[in-house]
């Protein structure tokens, strides 16, 4: 998603500037071309040498603005070059300039000379962030379709204040950049209510032993991230997972809890994407204290758990779209087609879990998308975030 992409980064004057170093490094490692603009106040927190070393390209400052070495004005060249523009940390000062359309330095001039999507990552003291003027400027920018945001988060700030104002973490910014590069800033899922399940359920025998599977929830998380950055309202029902996404998250442990949460959220959903790896069976009885090893049964009685996807298929309304996942070995298409028909799905993503770099716990995935009209689309190996975006593209074409 990033190889060869042109990413322009503007760094504002704030202590969070050090976090941007990780973003620059990650972008370069992913194959992106990176250019960096430092405001004069930013150089008090991070040096041009640091960012130029990480980006493998000289950093730009205000003193480079009108140098005769540039055949064309620098802000015009950079604005036309960029495919996406990240401003991080976004300070209250730069926010105010952007809201008013002011251009008194290289960074703000380049904003006005560009047409690409702009991702804003605010960072400031909580009192500053909550000021009426700052919030007015922020809401004004968010109404402009060019501007997208990540954060700010809540937590301990550099001023020892606990509250909202922390810049989003580098991993969150990196994921947001990938989504915006894929969509080119379009918000084609605005107005959609999307319900997603993710992760693997655990069916406990006692407080420490359970029947489960290797699912980590990475695919569900990627689906939630992709839908969010395309403008959807997202609810993620999931087992505990690593990572974060700025959507409503309902944490569950077992299949019964997932069923309850999914059925509760179903009436408001337009699309339901069931990517969770739900257990098929559970221990017939649960012991609330840890069983001693000698008390473990030689033969463990099991009973089936409710088929959540099939139940959703019987309850969905004509305007709703229900999408399943089928983790398979060997031939993945035939079992997925049978599942599609049997459970009244609108589409399904068939995953090979017996191939390297696909399926459970991997950062990449591959799939075959199928719908009830008989269409098939093969998705070669890619990141799970890219696969999520391609699935949403596919769902929009389902009749």
Annotated binding site for CTP: 280, 290, 306-309, 325, 339, 343
Gap between the Cα atoms of 39 and 20, Å rounded = 14
DSSP letters spanning 57-118: S--B-GGGTT-TT-SS-HHHHHHHH-SEEEEEEE-HHHHHHHHHT---SHHHHHHHT--S-E
Residue positions annotated with a catalytic role = 159
In which element (H, E) is residue 20 found? helix 17-29
**For residues 363 and 218, what is the distance between their CA atoms, to the nearest angstrom?**
7
Contact 206, 165 (CB under 8 A): no
> Is residue 233 classed as helix, strand or coil in its secondary structure?
strand
Distances (CA, A) of 177 to 140, 150, 224, 393: 22, 10, 15, 18
In the chain, what is the greatest distance between 2 CA atoms, to the nearest angstrom?
83
């Amino acid at each position: 998603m990033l190889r060869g992409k042109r990413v322009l980064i503007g760094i504002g004057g704030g202590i969070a500037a050090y976090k941007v170093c990780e973003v620059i490094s990650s972008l370069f490692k992913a194959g992106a071309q990176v250019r960096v603009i430092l405001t004069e106040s930013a150089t008090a927190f991070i040096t041009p040498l640091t960012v130029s070393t990480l980006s493998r390209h000289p950093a730009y400052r205000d003193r480079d603005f009108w140098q005769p070495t540039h055949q064309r004005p620098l802000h015009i060249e950079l604005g036309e070059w960029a495919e996406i523009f990240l401003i991080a940390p976004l300070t209250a000062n730069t926010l105010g300039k952007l809201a008013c359309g002011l251009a008194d330095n290289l960074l703000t001039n380049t904003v006005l000379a560009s047409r690409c999507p702009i991702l804003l990552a605010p960072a400031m003291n909580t009192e500053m962030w909550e000021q009426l003027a700052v919030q007015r400027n922020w809401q004004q920018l968010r109404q402009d379709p060019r501007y997208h945001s990540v954060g700010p988060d809540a937590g301990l700030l550099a001023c020892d204040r606990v509250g909202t104002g922390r810049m989003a973490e580098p991993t969150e910014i990196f994921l947001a950049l990938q989504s915006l590069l894929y969509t080119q800033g379009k918000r084609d899922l605005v107005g959609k209510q999307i319900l997603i399940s993710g992760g693997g359920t655990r069916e406990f025998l006692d407080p420490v032993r359970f029947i489960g599977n290797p699912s980590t929830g990475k695919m569900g998380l990627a689906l939630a991230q992709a839908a969010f950055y395309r403008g959807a309202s997202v609810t993620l029902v999931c087992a505990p997972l690593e990572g974060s996404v700025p959507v409503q998250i309902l944490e569950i442990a077992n299949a019964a809890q997932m069923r309850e949460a999914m059925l509760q959220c179903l009436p408001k959903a337009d699309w339901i994407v069931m990517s969770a790896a739900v257990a098929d069976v559970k221990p017939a009885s649960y012991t609330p204290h840890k069983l001693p090893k000698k008390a473990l049964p030689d033969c463990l009685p099991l009973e089936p758990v409710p088929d959540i996807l099939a139940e959703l298929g019987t309850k969905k309304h004509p305007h709703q779209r229900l999408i399943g996942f089928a983790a398979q070995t060997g031939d993945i298409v035939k079992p997925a087609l049978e599942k599609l028909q049997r459970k009244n799905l609108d589409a399904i993503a068939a995953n090979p879990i017996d191939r390297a770099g696909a399926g459970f716990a991997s950062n990449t995935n591959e799939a075959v998308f199928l719908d009830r009209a008989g269409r098939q689309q093969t998705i070669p190996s890619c990141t799970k975030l890219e696969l999520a975006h391609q699935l949403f593209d596919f769902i929009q074409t389902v009749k």
